[in-house]
Amino acid sequence: MWVTCGRRAARTTPTVVRVAASARRRPADGRLTHDLDPHDKGPQDACGVFGVWAPGEDVAKLAYYGIYALQHRGQESAGIAVSNGRQILVYKDMGLVSQVFDESTLEALRGHVAVGHSRYSTTGASTWHNAQPTFRPTMDGSIALGHNGNLTNTSELQQMVRDLPSSNGELDIHARNLETSTNDTSLVTALLAHHPDTTLEQRAMELLPQIRGAFCFVWMNESTLYAARDPQGIRPLVLGRLERGWVVASETAALDIVGASYVREVEPGEMVVVDEDGLRTARFAEPEPKGCLFEFVYLARPDTRISGRQVHGVRVEIGRRLADEHPVEADLVIPVPESGTPAAIGYAERSGIAYGTGLVKNSYVGRTFIQPSQTIRQLGIRLKLNPLRDVIEGKRLVVVDDSIVRGNTQRALVRMLREAGAREVHVRIASPPVKWPCFYGIDFATRAELIANGLTTDEICASIGADSLGYVDLEDTVAATEVAKDNLCRACFDGVYPVELPEPEHLGKHLLESFPEKLAELREPHPLTTSATGAGAGDSLERP
């Protein structure tokens, strides 16, 4: 779906027009892996963000390949905003990056600055009007913003949006009523867009210190690219250099894909600004580093570098330490692909047990527009993984996986391996037990659903039907990263949350959906809205 807004003279009413509507009407869909077993959804990251400022380059395609490289961080929706210096065009839709965009769409996105986003929802439902980048008109143009993370003072931000002054005329009322969607990103976008007496850069420096939680924001106006990372640096954000421009991205792997050279990480509490005058930075808060440990364990791509370490190497080292802690007599070490592979390599290397491929993963299982029937659903894990009987029959197996959330997948996996002839199945987990939910951008189960929260390791082993079960120790996991323990967020493992959490009633993925009277009046500019002052389609957000 298209949204566009052009630069206007100061204090005039911007016009939002329908440029085009997506010809590919999408039925309701869901991730196949979730639909197969909705009671065992694995950990999901919030989003991947990408920004590029590069005059003379095809920034839309750079953004496309950037968020394509970050697809693992979010598969519900994707979007790109591009500016040519006069107006911002936004195109976003539900689905994978490759499903949302085609050649003709990208050709229409011409400009010198772009922001891209791939989303998995951790605040707000999975709907079109929660897709990003979010878009808002301002006094003198417009902004588009993408966000990776999760905010913990959402209710305070919502009140700030409610309190936006309306004394400056029609546009202020319009801006006040543009908090749309049921996600925290829309609140921040609305607050950034309201800067009648200052610049966008100055407004950001005022607003960012008031935001709590984990955030990596990448946003733009018609001429400038901005990026900011929370003071704890919980989610990763890196800076890269092109021959004719600059790039910011959630992971270094996205820099590699677009041919950008890695410069450095965006520092916790730092804002980066790129425009025709070059790159400049400002610090809006003192850094208190607390990078997410689970990025090393599971979330980040293995070819990404975090804090100077390649993630693949960290996971191999975790596997070595896992072998030291939980040795066992066995014939073969096999990974649960793909995330368990590096740790399995490390386990086999340290234990001296042969490494092999015992499970084949269907690489194309991800998102589907075909809803599985109950018959197909009963196949469960076999649509994702299938055993190689000739490899595992009669063998004593060490099966290495990245984590256990609810335990349903591991239970089905152990049963499947035994049915394929495995003599023994010893499960080894390349992370400590996950006992606490995440409020900083990972959509775990609730604490009551986390199997390690209520059972001992021996009880979990019996529950999943394994011959033995071993988790890597938290201290060894931290040591493998070579990052100081005090500089890591370990909350999902030890319950120590580095950013203060609000009361339970102010937490949760669907928090903003509990304010229907406000949400009814706060809607994002939509393709079917004809203008800021004209009559639009009131129900347009319900039928993108």
d(CA 269, CA 250): 16
Strand 44-45 relative to strand 385-387, pairing? unpaired
Q: Are 101 and 146 in contact (CB under 8 A)?
A: no
Are residues 90 and 23 in contact, defined by beta-carbon separation less than 8 angstroms? no
State the SS3 of 177-192. Answer: CCCCCCCHHHHHHHHH
Which structure tokens are listed for 125?
Answer: 């439902």
State residue 121 phi and psi, 5-degree precision: -80, 125
In whole angstroms, give the CA distance from residue 94 to residue 82: 19
- Given a contact cutoff of 8 angstroms between Cβ atoms, the answer to whether 177 and 522 are in contact is yes
**Residue 489 is assigned to a ligand binding site:** yes
- Asked whether 214 and 230 are in contact (CB, 8 A), the reply is yes
Residue type present at position 518: K
What's the angle, vertex CA 357, arms to CA 351 and CA 359, rounded to 5?
A: 120
Tell whether residue 29 is among the known ligand binding residues.
Answer: no
Residue 186 marked as a ligand binder = no
Cα separation, 19 vs 350, whole angstroms: 59
Q: Is 461 annotated as a binding-site member?
A: no
Structure tokens at 467: 């011959």
What is residue 280's three-state secondary structure? strand
What single-letter amino acid sits at 466?
A
Query: Minimal CA–CA distance to 248: which of 226, 232, 270, 222?
Result: 226
Q: What residue has token string 């201290």?
A: 475
Consult the annotation and say whether 292 binds a ligand.
yes
Active site residues: 47
Please indicate if the annotation marks 5 as binding a ligand. Answer: no
- Bin 482: left if φ > 0, else alpha if -120 < ψ < 50, else beta: left
Calpha distance 513→529 (Å, rounded): 22
Rounded alpha-carbon distances, angstroms, from residue 329 to 312, 332, 351, 387: 26, 9, 9, 21
Is 476 flagged in the annotation as binding? no
The C-alpha R_g of the chain, in whole angstroms, comes to 24
Residue 484: alpha-carbon gap to chain centroid:
24
- Annotated binding residues for [4Fe-4S] cluster, written as ranges, equal 292, 438, 489, 492
- Annotated binding residues, written as ranges, equal 292, 339, 401-402, 438, 489, 492
- Annotated binding residues for Mg(2+), written as ranges, equal 339, 401-402
